[in-house]
Structure 1
C-alpha cells in the first residue's frame, strides 16, 4: 500500500554506467524514459520534474478528457509522508523533548503492548528505521477490498488494533522490515510530546517555513485534492482500472496521508538532505543507514541508493490508492520527483520508474 520503491527497480537502477554530467542542455533520455512509462508500461500518465524546473510529461492525467497531468498537479504522496514525520521527530530530539534511544513505552505507556509486542523494548530510532518488528496493518485493510477501504473512517487506534492482533515480525533491532504501523506510532508520539496533531506540527515546522504552498495534510474525511490535479487510478482486484481521486486518507495516518506536488517535494528533499532542516547531529542520524535489501539503505524516514555512475541519491517513494510518487536528490545538486497517477505498480512498471530515475541522475 504505502511502500518504498519496489525492489524490482534494482535491475533498472544498475543499468546506469555513464559518469554523471553537470546540467545537460537537453534531456532526451529523460523524456524517453517518461514516455516509456505510459507507452510501454501502460500507465495512464507520468510526470518527472528534473532539477526543480524542467518538467517532462507523458500520457493522460484524465482518461476521460485526455488532458495531461498538470505541470503543478497535486498528488497523494503516500509514504513520502514518513520523511516529513521523521524530520519532525528528529527536530523534537534536537529540542531535548526525547532521545532516539527512548522507548515507545516511556512516552506512550501500554499503547502497543499486546500479543508479544512490547513498547518497552522498541526505541524511537527503531520506529523510524523500520527495525521495530511491529506487524503491519495494511495487508488486512487491503483484504477488505480497495473500494470498501477508500471511504472508510479509521482512527489511529483502529489501525493499531489491526496490527496488534498479530505477534511481532521479529525482536526489535534484529532485522529490517517495512512497517507502516511504526509510523502511525510515530505520529502519536509527536502528538503526545507537542499537544498538537502530527499534521499541525508538520505544517508549522516544515510546510510553512519552506513555503510549500501546495503541500498539505488532509483533515479527517476530506476526500478531495486541492488545486489543479490529475485523476488518480487504482487497479482493482478484478483487474479493472477505477478512478480513486476521491479518498479518505484516515487509513494511512502519519504513514501516508499527505498531499504535495513535484515542485514542493523537490524543495523539501533538497533542503532536508543538504542539512537545512536539522542540526548536524540529527542530520547524521537521518542519513545513518541500515541495509534494507537489494543494495538499498534506509536511514530515518529516507532511502539511500548508490548508482554505478558515481551518484548517491536520497529520497523516498510513496504508493497509495490512485498514486505512485518518488522524490530524490543528491548532495551535488541533481533532483528528480516523479508522479504517476496509478497504484500499485507491477515489477515491470517499477523498473520503468527506475529507468526514469537513472535518466535523471545519470544522463
Structure 2
C-alpha cells in the first residue's frame, strides 16, 4: 500500500504520524530525554487493513550470527563491549520474529562495527550478509532534503518561497493553493497536501502492484485527486506527497534527475559504494543483500525483495547499507554536506506529539534515555524496516530488519503486538547511542 505505512514512518506508534497534529514549532535544543521506545518507533497501519489472523513467525537465532568491522580497522572501531551489546540486541530481534537483523554502529571518526543475525533467506537458510544492501524507505527523504538545502545555500531555492514559484500550475486541487505552500512546509510536512494511498493502484495489497511502474506525476495526480488535509502551516501530518513534490522541485531547478543529483551531491562526495537511487523500472537490489519478506493474503511471510519502487520515488525508493547510512547521517551534521546555518535550519523542529519527538526539515529528533537528542529519520518499505540516528557525541547507529513490524506481529492483537516488535528496534538504537 503506497502510504506512510509502506515506505514512510508508520502511523500509530509514532504517536500521531498518521493523523494531523496541531502545528507547534519548538526550538531544536528544547528536546528533553524520554523513553527509549520513542527512538524510531514504527506503527501498525500497513497491517491493519489485513483481516487475516497470523501467529508470529519464530526464526532460530542460530541460523546466522556475524560480528566484525565494516568501516575500517577493527582496532579503531567501536569498543568490543558496544559491538557485543549490538549483537545481543540483534539476536533479540530475530528471537522476536524478524527473519534477519543487520546493524552497524559507527564512532565519530567513521569507524564501524557491524552485526548480521538470522536468516538472509528463509527459503535456503543462508546467513544474512554483513552490511548488506537493504531498501531504506523514507530515509530517502533526508537525502532529498539535503539536496534541497544545498540548493538553498546556492541561492537557487528559497526555503520560505512558495512552491508555485518553481512548479507553476502543477500543484492544484480542492482546497490546495500552491502560492501559499512553502518549500519549508513541504520539507516539514506542514503543507496540508493530501497523501496518495489505494487511489494510486486501486488496492492496498503490495503483492498486486509490486512490479507496476508509475511516474512521479502519476503519484502526484493520485494525491491531488483528494482535498487538502488542512491549511498550510497550521498542522503537521506525515505525508509522502510532500517529498514527491520536492523531488520534482529538485529536477526543475537542476534540470537533471533527482537520483542523479543525490548521486553527484552526496553519494560520490562521501564515497558510498552501496547507496543508490534505483533507475526507473529497476526491480532488483544490485549488491549483496538479505531477502525481504512481507505478509501475504494467506498470513504467511512471502519474499518481496524484487519490486519496482517508482511509487516511492523521492519519498522512499533508495537502497543503502547500515554502515553507509551511518556515514551519510554523520555527514549531514559534521559539515561535509551542509553549512552550519543549514544544519541549524534542518534541526528546527515541529512537535509531533510523540514523547518529545520533533520533525525538522527531513530529520527527526528523538530524545535519548541518557539525555540529549538523536537525529535521523528511519524508513519502511514492504520487506525492510530501518531505524537509526546520530547521537550527541557523533556516534551513529542503524538497525535494519527484513520485515515490517506489522508483518511479524500477532494479527489477532495487531496494534499492541506491532508496537512491541517495533519497540525492540527502538530500544536497540537507544542503547547503542547511549553506550549502554
| Range into which the TM-score falls when normalised by the shorter chain | over 0.9
Q: Name which of 116, 133, 137 aligns with 1:78.
A: 137
Q: Which moved more, 1:135-144 or 1:189-198?
A: 135-144
Structure 1 contact 250–257 (Cα < 8 Å) conserved: yes
Task: State how far apart, in whole Å, the 2-side matches of 1:5 and 1:331 are.
Answer: 25
Cα distance between partner residues in 2 of 1:344 and 1:221: 27
Distance 2:268 2:87 in 1: 32
Alpha-carbon distance between aligned partners in 1 of 2:369 and 2:135, rounded to the nearest angstrom: 31
Contact 1:12 1:352 in 2 (8 A): no
* 1:4-50 Cα shifts (integer Å, max 9, x gaps): 3666378961599xxxxxx65413443232112111x2111101111
Partner of 1:87: 146
1:35 aligns with 2:91: yes
Matched-pair contact (CA < 8 Å) for 2:213–2:308: yes
Distance 1:238 1:141, change over 3 A: farther
User: Which residue of the partner structure matches residue 59 of structure 1?
Assistant: 118
| Counterpart contact for 1:140–1:162, Cα < 8 Å | yes
Identify the match of residue 123 of structure 1 among 165, 182, 185: 182
Secondary structure of 1:8 counterpart: helix
SS at match of 1:338: strand
- TM-score, length-scaled by structure 1: 0.93
User: Which residue in 2 is equivalent to 1:312?
Assistant: 373
CA distance in 2, matches of 1:290, 1:200: 30
Q: Who is 1:340 aligned against? A: 401
**Separation in 2 of the partners of 1:221 and 1:344?**
27
Measured in 2, the distance between the counterparts of 1:208 and 1:321 equals 27
List alignment gaps of at least 5 residues for structure 1: 17-22
Corresponding position of 2:333: 273
Residue in 2 that maps onto 1:191: 251
The answer on 1:26 being equivalent to 2:86 is: no
**8 A contact 2:120–2:126 mirrored in 1:** yes
Write out aligned runs for 1:104-115 (5 A).
Answer: 104-115=163-174
1:164-243 residue pairs with structure 2 within 5 A?
Answer: 164-243=224-303
Give, in whole Å, the separation in 2 of the partners of 1:302 and 1:7.
19
The answer to whether the Cα contact below 8 Å between 2:37 and 2:423 also exists between their aligned partners in 1 is: no
Question: How far off its partner does 1:72 sit?
Answer: 2.7
Structure 1 residue aligned with 2:392, among 331, 336, 356? 331
Post-superposition Cα deviations, 1:56-85, rounded to whole Å, max 9, x if no partner, equal 232111111212221131111110000000
CA contact (8 A) 2:296 2:302 kept: yes
SS at match of 1:191: helix
The aligned length equals 357
Structure-2 change in CA distance of 1:358 and 1:281 (3 Å): closer
**Alpha-carbon distance between aligned partners in 1 of 2:209 and 2:253, rounded to the nearest angstrom:** 30
SS of the residue corresponding to residue 162 of structure 1 reads helix
Q: Which moved more, 1:164-173 or 1:79-88?
A: 164-173
1:223 & 1:145 partners in 2: Cα distance?
Answer: 17
Give the TM-score normalised by structure 2. 0.78
The equivalent residue for 2:36 is 13
Match of 1:68 among 122, 127, 130: 127
2:424 corresponds in structure 1 to: 352
